[in-house]
Amino acid sequence: MPGFAPKCAGELRGGIVNMPHLLIVAALWLAVLSMGGGAEAAAGSVLERIEQKGVIKLGYRADAPPYSYRDEKQQPAGFIVDLCREVAAAVAAAAKGPVRTEYVLVAPPERFEAVREGRVDILCDPASVTLERRELVDFSIPTFLDGAGALSRAGVVIDRFEDLRNRKVGVLGGTTTEQALRGALRDVGVPVEIVTVQDHRTGLDLMTANRIDIYFADRAIIAAMILQNRIPGFQLSQRYFSYETYALAIPRDDSAFRLLVDRALAHLYRTGQIEQIITRTFGRSFQDEMLRAMVAIHSLPER
Separation between Cα atoms, residue 206 and residue 10, nearest integer Å: 45
Q: What is the pLDDT of residues 108-147, one digit of tens each?
A: 889 999 999 999 999 999 999 999 999 999 999 999 998 8
Tens-digit pLDDT profile for residues 233-247: 888 888 889 888 999
All structural domains of the chain, each given as residue ranges with its CATH number in brackets, are 9-146+245-297 (3.40.190.10), 148-236 (3.40.190.10)
Q: Residue 300 phi/psi, 5° resolution?
A: -70, 135
Closest CA to 89 of 58, 127, 43: 58
Is residue 22 predicted with pLDDT exceeding 60?
no
Indicate the pTM of the whole model.
0.74
Between 4 and 254, the more confident residue is 254
Mean pLDDT of 12-35: 44
Instruction: Compute the Cα dihedral for 300, 220, 8, 275 and give only its sign.
Output: positive
